[in-house]
Structure 1
Amino acid sequence: MARSAAGGTGAGGTRVKAARRPEIRLPALEPFPGGELEPDGDYDGLEFRDADFAGQDGSGSRFLDCALTECALDEAGLRHASVLDSTLTSVRGVGTNLAEATLRDVELIDARLGGTQMHAAVLERVLIRGGKIDYLNLRMARLRDVVFEGCVLVEPDFGGARLERVEFVDCALTGADLHAATLKDVDLRGAASLEISRGLDRLAGAVISTTQLLDLAPVLAAQWGIRVED
């Protein structure tokens, strides 16, 4: 069950609806008995610890009330997977395929991921806290009630994605691509650094701070063909 939070006030007194964070209450978990992931597998109430799923195919699998801790996900195939009411802590991997997956009521803590494919995925009530994610592909994804907190996002691709009630808190956001994205109640004010490579025109529906506006001013001026001279 997710918790409601009060929103902040943006420019002109407009209230920004805050993201609802997940509240994960895991039951007593059984240790994963081992073996490889299976396509369309059903994993319920399991603890995966130090498991190596590199290169395995778990496409279409469902993880419910699970905890994955310090697992390797390099090139793991999890397309169309569902991760529900679960925690992922200190997972690592390059090229993990979560395209068209569903993450609902999930906490992703201190992850070290690179080139993760999440295009057309659905994220709802998801907290991504700590860690570093390079080249995250969220093209055409739907994010609702998602919080990025204290993490580093290097060149994330939100092209064509829909973001609603998404917050960036104390995180570094560099080289973000917002091309053709749709934003509603997206709060960027808490981002420790904010760098947008494409899609500045898609910031309607987001709120930024005065300092961030000044930082983005040179890019905005260049995009609009404005010459700035003293």
Structure 2
Amino acid sequence: MSAAARSRKTLGTQQPSFDFDESALGSLEPGDEATLDAGRLDGVAYAAIERDSWELGAGDTVEACRFEGMVLGTWTLRGARVIESVFSGANVPAVSAARGGWRDVELRDSRFGSVEAYDGEWRGIRFVRCKLGYVNLRAAELLDVAFEDCSIDEIDLMDASARRVAFASTRIGALNASGARLADVDLRGADVGQVIGLDGLRGATISPDLLQLMAPALAELAGIVVEP
């Protein structure tokens, strides 16, 4: 047994750690439409935004902001950074956030359709009571990420690197872990319908119920024939 495996067995699965405190945002100035499209948002608050689209480009930044009731047709922020911000009550069918950097962000009571966040970097991210469709995190780097009381149709972690990621009271229709590199990824609180790429689950912690669900696929992976 490796030193890392012995450490996990002794200390248990490490949970995500969060330093961001929403109270640090304090009293924010209200933002307007011009500010929203400026490409550099810092210390502003938005309420009841309703637009067909909102586009941010590579290098654009949203920092120390609060958004409540954001309704968009599409949200494009490829290569953009989102830092120390809170989104609540959002409804966005299509999110394009590939190669972006998100740090210390909380998203709650929201609905997102497809979330294209491949090749991105997420650190200190919390989804709380959110409904998500297809979440594409291929080749992404995840550190301290939590999904709490969420529903996810499909999450794709192919070739992703994930450490201290947890799914508490969360339903996952399908999970693709092919080629993933996982450490302290806690799936015990997840109701998972299907797992693709079982070999990529090395480093994850699962419940006995999930183990039972995966038993036939694990046997096939190990070349074991199960017959009555």
Total equivalences in the alignment: 220
Distance apart, 1:52 and its partner CA:
2.4
The 3 A distance-change label for structure 1 pair 116 and 74 is: farther
Separation in structure 2 between the aligned mates of residue 53 and residue 45 of structure 1, nearest angstrom: 21
Cα shift readout 1:116-171 (whole Å, capped 9, x = no counterpart): 11111111011111121001111111110011110011111111111001111110
Corresponding position of 2:183: 184
- Written as runs of structure 1 = structure 2, the 5 A alignment for 1:219-230 is 219-230=217-228
Separation in structure 2 between the aligned mates of residue 183 and residue 121 of structure 1, nearest angstrom: 16
Corresponding position of 1:82: 81
Q: Which is richer in strand?
A: 2
Q: Which is richer in helix?
A: 2
Corresponding position of 2:112: 113
% of aligned pairs identical?
A: 31
Corresponding position of 1:16: 13
TM-score, L = length of structure 1: 0.88
List, as ranges, runs of 4+ consecutive aligned residues in structure 1 with deviation greater than 6 Å: none
Unmatched 5+ stretches in structure 2: 1-5
1:33 aligns with 2:40: no
Distance apart, 1:35 and its partner CA:
3.9
Separation in structure 1 between the aligned mates of residue 178 and residue 52 of structure 2, nearest angstrom: 32
Match of 1:205 among 203, 206, 209: 203
The 3 A distance-change label for structure 1 pair 197 and 213 is: closer
- Written as runs of structure 1 = structure 2, the 5 A alignment for 1:56-95 is 56-60=54-58, 61-95=60-94
Q: Which letter maps to 2:174? A: G
Local SS of the residue matching 1:75: strand
Local SS of the residue matching 2:27: coil
TM-score, L = length of structure 2: 0.89
For the aligned residues, what is the CA RMSD? 2.1
Q: Which letter maps to 2:77? A: L
The 3 A distance-change label for structure 1 pair 36 and 56 is: farther
Local SS of the residue matching 1:76: strand
Separation in structure 1 between the aligned mates of residue 205 and residue 11 of structure 2, nearest angstrom: 9
Cα shift readout 1:97-132 (whole Å, capped 9, x = no counterpart): 111111111111022111111111111011111121
Q: Is the 8 A contact 1:99 1:118 kept in 2?
A: yes
Cα shift readout 1:46-90 (whole Å, capped 9, x = no counterpart): 111111243332123211111111112322221111111110111
